[in-house]
Structure 1
Amino acid sequence: MLSLKDAQLGAFTFFASALPHDVCGSNGLPLTPNSIKILGRFQILKTITHPRLCQYVDISRGKHERLIVVAEHYESSLEDFQKQGKSVSPEKVLQIAYEVLEGLDFLNKDGLVHRALGPHNVLLDCKGNVKLAKFGLYHMTDHGADVDFPIGYPSYLAPEVIAQGWSHPSDPSHREPPRRSGPKVDVWSLGVLLFELCAGRRLLQSFDTSERLKFILSLGCVDDIVTVVAEEHGCLEVIKELPENVLSLLRKCLTFLPSGRPTPADLLKDPVFQEVSIHYTPFRKPVGLFSSSLRCAHLELPDDISKLCQDDKEDYLAERAIDEVYYLWCLAGGDLEKELTNKGIIQSKPPVCTLPNFILEDGESFGRGRDRSFLLDDTTVTLSLSQLKTRLTDVAGEAYYPLLEDEQSSLPHSNSSNELPAAVTLPLIIRERDTEYQLLRIVLFDRILQAYPYKKNLVWKEARVDIPPLLRGLAWATLLGIEGDIQAKYDSIDKDTPIPTDRQIEVDIPRCHQYDELLSSPQGHVKFRRVLKAWVVSHPDLVYWQGLDSLCAPFLYLNFNNEALAYACMSAFIPKYLYNFFLKDNSHVIQEYLTVFSQLIGFHDPELSNHLNEIGFIPDLYAIPWFLTMFTHVFPLHKIFHLWDTLLLGNSSFPFCIGVAILQQLRDRLLANGFNECILLFSDLPEIDIERCVRESINLFCWTPKSATYRQHAQPVKNMTEPNGFGKAPSYTTTDYQDSPKTDLSREPLKLSELKAEVSPRISAEDLIDLCELTAATHFKTPTKKPRSGKPKVIAVDIRSSEDFNRGHISGSISVPYHTAFGPEGELVPGPATATLQSFRGRVIVVISHAMTRASVFAANLVRLNYPRVCILDGGINKLRATGLLTVPSPQI
């Protein structure tokens, strides 16, 4: 994206054609509004970057099919020359012609045609260079099919376009859509513009529209169109005085038959531009973040290094990308409709004036006529940046150039010499709407991302604070470790050959997050189909399950114009969090996952677990869509973004904690209801506070021993290459248990039947050793150090007999013999050991025995008594005998 520099932001508006409300498509669904279609096609225009083209920034959809387009804008245009009434020098004409052709040729290579060339759409920047505006209007409207006005201006339209006529495709008398224009129509329009510059006057302005069209069509029988047009407008002498190369250019452009007219690419190679072209260097498209090419190959230091030192009056905002400036403008209170209303472009009318007309049986009509406001008013309104600049007055210039060295700051949330403002302590939704805060975060993330993968650790570090929404797509990709030439890999996948899954994909897409305008557009459906099919084809060992489309939605939304990146992110996300979930027979994977989730509910909230088990409301009834789609099926996209910002920092066990956090938000309603009411509750899930859910998930995650979520069907990881997501230093909660090398103290796999028979999770001996050494839970952002005093966060409960306990036990453990612990009613028998156990209620309780069955029953009894955080030592006391950690009490003297 180009920087703002001396450009401005401009906005113009038009209406899409309205569709009848009582008509459905072939699939039985309502027709997609034309404004949604235009919005989807517009997105690709934002990726077109060239020095001769105005950068498209955004499109906004309003009421009654209104669309507002935001783009790079300049106040000066070729129209200024016409207003002066003087002819332009031949040298300037050739320069303008060459620069216009450069822009047109670049468009043609992307399969686009301008079709709306006019003097007010050929803008000039502060250096007098050409910037073509509104070049995307013809493309975004499906070549004029989705609007009620023709694309182009009668005085500048090519003869073949005029001869074709215009009829709206919705007109029943027009059975076939009009033939699409090719690149040569713009060459004719350029010829008319150049002629006007040479003559110093507008052409055909004394004629009405019909006379203009007749005159242009009559030129078909003329040998020398340039001479005839000059005679018609009384400027023959001026035209005759032009150099031969300029006259030759005009004659080539104003060739009546398209077959004899050159394309922009042909004209650029014409000898007429031999002297002009030497002053221009070919445009190189910037290299993307994920590519095999060297991103910094084009960077050069100036001969005078002092030029890099800028004074205090520098407009730092102008150096930022134009899409960043617009995003900040919106945060600072910018309102597109208000800007257009203030300029009189949008005019409100009383409701009675907007009533449609109706026709009686005798043909007499009543009501309003055609509202001309629904035609194209291509006036571009300049958006004022004064309010934004006022908001950013207090932001120091150094903030636009943050340093990335870790030593620059000891703060866990800042890597620059400037600390983040107090807004960092505010709720996330407020931070995302704070202009100054977002500027700092965008600048910092942009700098870090440009240094990816070298500064990958800094991406993780800053993502723990928050991720700016504008850069979320790239930030997620770096958190998922995407690297290399992803486009080449994506292009190599066959996405066109029919496969059996096509039918299911076609059925699922129209139901996936269709409340979103972008994903519901036809372009969105096409991209959905391609990305999903690419994943299915490239993973022959896996199959398409319903829910894969929901998983794809966040990545496609954030990378709408980069299918390859959406596919790469999705391909990296699924193995990490949904390993083997998409096997043809995934029942054993799902069942193990749900069983571990059920154990974690009992671990963190035994009262809720007991109630749900008592009424038979098991996770199989509600949690499969949660985990199969990582909550994208149950939450809207804006909540998924905040949820996944944290999810991507955690390991594959973090979704368990999210699920428990959701249940705890619904805790009171679940405890008060029975099975049927719970089913109804989850059929229409109540509003969930996502920020609270994330906060509680982190707390649950930090209280969960990593081996408690062990799954033998989780992804095997050979080595740990990712930074810790939830702290600066390693802890027992930061990495997957599968990431650790297996030892004799590791947890052993269980049969699914054995796993389901246990209420509490098992933890490994190595986890127990670590837990006994830790005395404070790890905080999400800054792990606390081991305090010198205080109760430990874990208690080991040895349920063997007193004799066995005295032969050897873990230091600090308490002896609660199995046979003496519980009374006939299942209550704890009072005694010193049980009193100590009760004093540790709320801490991690590890049940140790030599028989796993007894340990499982003992733990189940504690859970039944609503003891939280109860777990079992996997392998029992025998796992610890070879460690030398068992102690024997000293004999009494």
Structure 2
Amino acid sequence: MRPLKDAQLGAFTFFASALPHDVCGSNGLPLTPNSIKILGRFQILKTVTHPRLCQYVDISRGKHERLIVVAEHFESSLSDFQKQGIKASSEKVLQVAYELLEGLDFMNKHGMVHRALSAHNVLMDCKGNVKLAKFGLYHMTDHGADVDFPIGYPSYLAPEVIAQGSFHPSDSSHDEAPLPSGPKTDVWSLGVLLFELCAGRRLLQNIEISERLKFILTLGCMDDIVTVLAEEHGCLDAIKELPENVLELLRKCLTFLPSKRPTPAELLGDPIFNGVSCLYTPFKKPVSLFSSSLRCAHLELPEDISDLCKDDDEDYLSERAINEVYHLWCLAGGDLEKELTNKGIIQSKPPICTLANFVLEDGESFGQRRDRSFLLDDTTVTLSLCQLGNRLRDVAGEAYYPLLEDEQSSLPQSNSSNELSTTVKLPLIIRERDTEYQLIRIILFDRLLKAYPYKKNLVWKEARVDIPPLVRGLVWAALLGIEGDIQAKYESTDKDTPIPTDRQIEVDIPRCHQYDELLSSPQGHIKFRRVLKAWVVSHPDLVYWQGLDSLCAPFLYLNFNNEALAYACMSAFIPKYLYNFFLKDNSHVIQEYLTVFSQMIAFHDPELSNHLNEIGFIPDLYAIPWFLTMFTHVFPLHKIFHLWDTLLLGNSSFPFCIGVAILQQLRDRLLANGFNECILLFSDLPEIDIERCVRESINLFCWTPKSATYRQHAQPPKAAGDNGFGKAASYYTSDYQDMPKTDLSRDPLALCDLKAEVSPRISAEDLIDLCELSLSGPGKRTRAGKPKIVAVDIRNLEDFNRGHISGSINIPFSTAFGPNSELVQCPATGVLQSYRGRVIVIISHAITNAIMFAAHLVKVNFPRVCFLDGGINKLKPTGLLTVPSPMI
């Protein structure tokens, strides 16, 4: 969106038509409220950006079908000329006409017409340029079908619109709705506006509405409508004094028959504007972030670079985008309903005054007359930014232009920098509501995204701190590595031809996150359908499984007006985290995934694992919807956003850690219950603290060796080289599968063998790496200064003395456990007890002994137990085995 600059934020409100409560649609579900329909259609208006149009910002839905629209606003309008009785010069008339036609033509190219043109809806900025307001009212209300009032003003409506009459869907006297108005209806309204500018007064001002309509309809019999209007309003002399080109423009606009009336596009190319059009530069839409075009090709530096510098008293906030300013206004305590109530637009009444009417048998009705507050009051209230300005008064100018390479860039230089550095440590939900903190984060991410993909490593680095909600959609796309002309690829995908999956998609969409107003709107359903079909068609080797709609929901919500980006993100997300999950026969993929998850539960929480296995409550009974939808079927969207903010920073094994973290939040209840109680518990999952879940998932992830979650059916290795996120990010964003395979790598394992193992295997290279980490510098030890890993060699003493990993302890397998699998108390096992809590790696000659030893440790509740894949033989060629010195 463009900067706020000299504009203001304005809000106006209206009511959608109420629907009967006892009527259902053809699918048996309740009808979608008209306010939800309007809210869905409104979204596209936020993308319609042009210098002649007031930028739409937001829409909110209140009680009783009330809608409040926020848009760019200016106090000055064409009605000021009428109030002052000023006759505009011919130059001004042509300027206004050309600028209005530019705005109308741009709207028409987007499939919209204004239909509500009037003097007070044609605003003027500080330079006197035209800004069309409320141009989206006709579009968002489905040509007026979803509201109880007509769209447009009788004095300005074209004759063909008046001839159609008013219409409401609930009115049984009309068989069918009138045809939507076309671009030519606005040209008539433009002609009336220009006539008023020339005459210096309003047309048909002192005539009753019915008389106005009769008069306009009678104009069809006149040859020169301009002359008739001038005579009617006593300004014939003033009109005759106008230049011929202005008179010609008025006659073309006020052509009675639509077939002979020009469109805005035709008028723009008319010779009438030859002397005006050269003063305007054709509008070029800014290049989007993900495009094949250069984003900076149009940028030019001023001849004097000092012109870029601002004074200390400059309003930096006005340079920010309108949607950013509004977002911060809301965070600073802005309340739309309160603003409108204070101005008297919203008027509350005591309940006794809102009683419904009642009708007697003879048809006589008693009660209130129709509440006129439910009709349209098009007054626009200016939203005061004073409170926001006061909240941000301590933010220094440097904070609006952070240096990206500065190590302190994430901590703004302001009078309250200490306070902001403290804010970083607060819970995420508090940070997201802190006005000053969000300003700093939004500005920083805005600059990083503009430099994407060159600065993708810094995007990743800052995303580890947090992601501002306002830019979450673009940041996610950057984290997923989206690049190139995504729009062209999406448009080239056939989303219209019927396919066998259509029926299942139609059934799933009305059940997917329908508590959300945006996704439950008809426009949301249409976009859902298109994105899902695009994915199915472009992945012929995969099939549509139930749950794919839930995966699509977060991306569609964040990129509601950019289906191509939602599709691109979804297409990048699935191979990374759900590779081959959507095969026609995905049983082997799912079973391997659930087996690894079971091993992760045993690795991190053996007591819980033992209990769940004892009662037969296996992951197959509850975890498939978790992983098939990456938890989107389990949690509402606002929790998914916080969860995925971290998920996208991790590799494909991170979901295992999320699953374990969820179980640990329910740990006490699971341990206290049997199979039936656990089934009931997961049928209606209790409230999960997502911030705690994320925090614990990260801790679990850091404790998990990378090769412990190795899966044969994970995504194949990517091309060699840096993954594009920099060295700092590579460890977390890359999978074990991406690492070059060597003789020390973990070998593939049959699913039946994998299921027989309680604890995970780790590779020899992982063991070496972990041992080096624990024995190297102080930053690679635990807080207590102890190594995070201990190697337990279970070979007999003779084999151990021939060569072993440095620092490992020897506990022969035959001496460690008694007949009942209890841990035998001896010096060696006593040492093992002292290592409880660290990663215990079992090393042996025979892999079966390592499997059994690890299973025994898990049975006695030893956490973080794993064993070396391939045994000691994998380490012999490395030369890392040492011979112990004689013991004293």
Give TM class, smaller chain.
Answer: over 0.9
Q: CA deviation at 1:815?
A: 1.2
Question: Aligned to 2:856, which of 827, 852, 861?
Answer: 861
The unaligned stretches of length 5 or more in structure 2 are none
Q: Could you say which residue in structure 2 is the equivalent of 1:44?
A: 44
CA distance in 2, matches of 1:529, 1:233: 55
Q: How does 1:246-645 map to 2 (within 5 A)?
A: 246-405=246-405, 408-409=406-407, 420-645=420-645
* 2:61 aligned partner, one-letter code: R
- Shift in CA distance, 8/776, structure 1 to aligned 2, threshold 3 Å: farther
CA distance in 1, matches of 2:167, 2:412: 60
| 2:56–2:70 contact (8 Å) kept in structure 1 | yes
* 1:844 aligned partner, one-letter code: V
Q: Could you say which residue in structure 1 is the equivalent of 2:225?
A: 225
- Shift in CA distance, 876/349, structure 1 to aligned 2, threshold 3 Å: same
CA distance in 2, matches of 1:351, 1:92: 52
- Bigger shift: residues 347-356 or 443-452: 347-356
1:831 aligns with 2:826: yes
| 1:3–1:322 contact (8 Å) kept in structure 2 | yes
TM-score by length of 2: 0.98
CA distance in 2, matches of 1:470, 1:761: 40
- Shift in CA distance, 657/527, structure 1 to aligned 2, threshold 3 Å: same
CA distance in 2, matches of 1:186, 1:172: 29
- Shift in CA distance, 724/615, structure 1 to aligned 2, threshold 3 Å: farther
Residue by residue, what CA displacement relative to the aligned partner does 1:178-223 show, whole Å, maximum 9, x if unpaired? 2100000000000001101101111101101000000000001000
Residue by residue, what CA displacement relative to the aligned partner does 1:327-349 show, whole Å, maximum 9, x if unpaired? 00000000000000000000001
CA distance in 1, matches of 2:741, 2:594: 24
CA distance in 2, matches of 1:805, 1:765: 17
CA distance in 2, matches of 1:171, 1:729: 62
- Bigger shift: residues 280-289 or 828-837: 828-837
- Bigger shift: residues 75-84 or 166-175: 166-175
* 1:762 aligned partner, one-letter code: R
Q: CA deviation at 1:722?
A: 3.3
* 1:773 aligned partner, one-letter code: E
SS in structure 1 at match of 2:742: coil
CA distance in 2, matches of 1:784, 1:414: 24
1:738 aligns with 2:733: no
Q: Could you say which residue in structure 2 is the equivalent of 1:659?
A: 659
SS in structure 1 at match of 2:381: strand
Q: Could you say which residue in structure 2 is the equivalent of 1:199?
A: 199
1:845 aligns with 2:843: no
Q: CA deviation at 1:729?
A: 7.2
CA distance in 2, matches of 1:191, 1:693: 62
CA distance in 1, matches of 2:334, 2:721: 45
CA distance in 2, matches of 1:170, 1:36: 18
Question: Aligned to 1:800, which of 775, 779, 795?
Answer: 795
CA distance in 1, matches of 2:368, 2:178: 29
Q: CA deviation at 1:859?
A: 0.6
Q: CA deviation at 1:721?
A: 3.7
| 1:776–1:784 contact (8 Å) kept in structure 2 | no
Identity score, percent = 84
Q: Could you say which residue in structure 1 is the equivalent of 2:12?
A: 12
SS in structure 2 at match of 1:579: coil
CA distance in 2, matches of 1:886, 1:777: 18
SS in structure 1 at match of 2:779: coil
1:761 aligns with 2:779: no
Residue by residue, what CA displacement relative to the aligned partner does 1:648-668 show, whole Å, maximum 9, x if unpaired? 000000000000000000000
Question: Aligned to 2:874, which of 859, 867, 879?
Answer: 879
Q: CA deviation at 1:136?
A: 0.1
- Shift in CA distance, 312/469, structure 1 to aligned 2, threshold 3 Å: same
SS in structure 1 at match of 2:127: coil
Q: CA deviation at 1:174?
A: 1.6
Q: CA deviation at 1:21?
A: 0.2
SS in structure 2 at match of 1:846: strand
Q: CA deviation at 1:175?
A: 2.2
- Shift in CA distance, 580/775, structure 1 to aligned 2, threshold 3 Å: same
CA distance in 2, matches of 1:771, 1:85: 84
Q: CA deviation at 1:354?
A: 1.9
Q: CA deviation at 1:777?
A: 12
CA distance in 2, matches of 1:13, 1:678: 49
SS in structure 1 at match of 2:424: helix
SS in structure 2 at match of 1:51: coil
* 1:767 aligned partner, one-letter code: D
* 2:4 aligned partner, one-letter code: L
TM-score by length of 1: 0.97
SS in structure 2 at match of 1:156: coil
SS in structure 2 at match of 1:154: coil
CA distance in 2, matches of 1:803, 1:642: 54
CA distance in 2, matches of 1:177, 1:813: 83
CA distance in 2, matches of 1:176, 1:493: 35
CA distance in 1, matches of 2:775, 2:216: 84
Q: Could you say which residue in structure 1 is the equivalent of 2:648?
A: 648
SS in structure 2 at match of 1:155: coil
Q: CA deviation at 1:416?
A: 8.1
Q: How does 1:90-169 map to 2 (within 5 A)?
A: 90-169=90-169
Residue by residue, what CA displacement relative to the aligned partner does 1:227-283 show, whole Å, maximum 9, x if unpaired? 111111111111111111111010000000001100001111111111011110100
| 1:7–1:73 contact (8 Å) kept in structure 2 | yes
Q: Could you say which residue in structure 2 is the equivalent of 1:791?
A: 786
SS in structure 1 at match of 2:875: helix
- Shift in CA distance, 788/291, structure 1 to aligned 2, threshold 3 Å: closer
CA distance in 2, matches of 1:715, 1:164: 61
CA distance in 2, matches of 1:557, 1:678: 33
CA distance in 1, matches of 2:428, 2:42: 30
| 2:399–2:412 contact (8 Å) kept in structure 1 | no
Q: Could you say which residue in structure 2 is the equivalent of 1:711?
A: 711
CA distance in 2, matches of 1:788, 1:388: 43
CA distance in 2, matches of 1:226, 1:777: 91
CA distance in 1, matches of 2:745, 2:421: 45
- Bigger shift: residues 488-497 or 358-367: 358-367
* 1:860 aligned partner, one-letter code: A
CA distance in 2, matches of 1:280, 1:724: 43
Q: CA deviation at 1:771?
A: 1.3
- Shift in CA distance, 579/398, structure 1 to aligned 2, threshold 3 Å: same
| 1:169–1:175 contact (8 Å) kept in structure 2 | no
Q: How many residues align?
A: 884
| 2:461–2:729 contact (8 Å) kept in structure 1 | no
Q: CA deviation at 1:601?
A: 0.2
* 2:384 aligned partner, one-letter code: S
CA distance in 2, matches of 1:121, 1:788: 66
Residue by residue, what CA displacement relative to the aligned partner does 1:699-726 show, whole Å, maximum 9, x if unpaired? 000000000000010001233543679x
Q: CA deviation at 1:851?
A: 1.1
| 2:85–2:201 contact (8 Å) kept in structure 1 | yes
| 1:706–1:735 contact (8 Å) kept in structure 2 | no
RMSD: 1.7
Q: Could you say which residue in structure 2 is the equivalent of 1:722?
A: 723
Q: CA deviation at 1:421?
A: 3.1
SS in structure 2 at match of 1:389: helix
CA distance in 1, matches of 2:601, 2:826: 29
| 2:781–2:788 contact (8 Å) kept in structure 1 | no
CA distance in 2, matches of 1:647, 1:538: 25
- Shift in CA distance, 416/737, structure 1 to aligned 2, threshold 3 Å: farther
CA distance in 1, matches of 2:221, 2:776: 89
CA distance in 2, matches of 1:530, 1:649: 28
CA distance in 2, matches of 1:249, 1:791: 86
Q: CA deviation at 1:728?
A: 3.5
The unaligned stretches of length 5 or more in structure 1 are none
